[in-house]
Amino acid sequence: MERSDVEAAALDTLDHKFGDANFRAGQLEAIIPLLEQDRDGADVLSVIATASGKRRKALSVMLVPLKGLGRQHADMMTKAGVPALALSSSSTTAEWARCKMMIIEKALCALFISPEVLCHNPGFVKLLNEHNIAILCFDEAHLYNDWYLWRPTMSMAASLVSAQRRLGLTATMRRRDQQLVVRRTGMSAPIVQRGRFLRSNLLLQVIKRPAALTFGRASLADRLSAATEAKWRIARTLRMAIKARSLQGNTIVYVPSRAQAETVCKQLVQAAKDQKLVAVGAALKFRPYHAGRTDRSEVEQLFLSQRGVVVVATIAFGLGVDCAHVRVIIHFSGARSLAEYAQQVGRGGRDGEDAYCLCFYNPSDSQGIRRSIESAVLTTSTTTALMRKVAERTTERGPTSFLHWADFHRAGIDDDNTDAVLAALCRTGLALAGKRQPARISAMKGSKWTIQPLPALSRFALALWQDRFQAAFASGKLNVAVRCDVRDVCTVPPFLEMGAGGPTVVHDALGDLAAAKLVDIDYSDDYPLVQPLAVLDRQDARAAGRLLSKSMKSAAAQQLAVLDEALDFMEADGCLQRRLCDVFDAPDDLDAAVESCRCGMCEPATIGAGFA
Binding site for Zn ion (CB under 5 A): 575, 577, 597, 599, 602
- Closest approach, Cβ 600 to Zn ion, in A, equals 8
- Closest approach, Cβ 597 to Zn ion, in A, equals 3
**Closer CB to Zn ion, residue 58 or residue 602?**
602
**Closer CB to Zn ion, residue 504 or residue 577?**
577
- Closest approach, Cβ 578 to Zn ion, in A, equals 6
- Closest approach, Cβ 384 to Zn ion, in A, equals 52
Beta bridge partners of 47: 170, 194
| Helix (H) / strand (E) containing 438 | strand 431-443
- Neighbour tally for 393: CB within 10 Å: 19
What number of CA atoms fall less than 13 Å from residue 357's CA on the CB side? 26
**Closer CB to Zn ion, residue 59 or residue 575?**
575
The answer to whether residues 145 and 184 touch, using CB atoms and an 8 Å cutoff, is yes
- Neighbour tally for 379: CB within 10 Å: 12
- Closest approach, Cβ 205 to Zn ion, in A, equals 10
CA angle 298, 303, 304 (to 5 degrees): 100
| C-alpha–C-alpha distance, residues 116 and 94, integer Å | 19
| C-alpha–C-alpha distance, residues 86 and 308, integer Å | 32
| C-alpha–C-alpha distance, residues 601 and 575, integer Å | 5
**Closer CB to Zn ion, residue 71 or residue 579?**
579
**Closer CB to Zn ion, residue 484 or residue 593?**
593
- Closest approach, Cβ 350 to Zn ion, in A, equals 20
**Closer CB to Zn ion, residue 271 or residue 599?**
599
Which long-range contacts (C-beta less than 8 Å, at least 24 apart) are formed by 145-151?
145/173, 145/177, 145/180, 145/181, 145/184, 146/337, 146/339, 146/340, 147/65, 148/180, 148/184, 148/427, 149/423, 149/427, 149/555, 149/558, 149/559, 150/419, 150/423, 150/426, 151/65, 151/115, 151/433, 151/528
- Closest approach, Cβ 340 to Zn ion, in A, equals 21
The answer to whether residues 398 and 498 touch, using CB atoms and an 8 Å cutoff, is no
DSSP 16: I
- Closest approach, Cβ 481 to Zn ion, in A, equals 50
- Closest approach, Cβ 339 to Zn ion, in A, equals 20
| C-alpha–C-alpha distance, residues 57 and 505, integer Å | 38
- Write down the number of H helices and E strands in the chain: 25, 16
Beta bridge partners of 110: 84
Maximum separation of any 2 CA atoms in the chain, in Å: 77
- Closest approach, Cβ 595 to Zn ion, in A, equals 10
- Closest approach, Cβ 486 to Zn ion, in A, equals 47
Q: In Å, how far are 7, 26, 50, 284 from 29, measured between CA atoms? A: 9, 5, 15, 42
The answer to whether residues 499 and 393 touch, using CB atoms and an 8 Å cutoff, is no
- Closest approach, Cβ 63 to Zn ion, in A, equals 36
For 26, phi then psi, to 5°, come to 95, -25
**Closer CB to Zn ion, residue 463 or residue 602?**
602
- Closest approach, Cβ 580 to Zn ion, in A, equals 9
**Closer CB to Zn ion, residue 386 or residue 597?**
597
DSSP 84: E
**Closer CB to Zn ion, residue 593 or residue 602?**
602
**Closer CB to Zn ion, residue 49 or residue 154?**
49
The answer to whether residues 110 and 58 touch, using CB atoms and an 8 Å cutoff, is yes
The answer to whether residues 6 and 36 touch, using CB atoms and an 8 Å cutoff, is yes
| C-alpha–C-alpha distance, residues 380 and 214, integer Å | 34
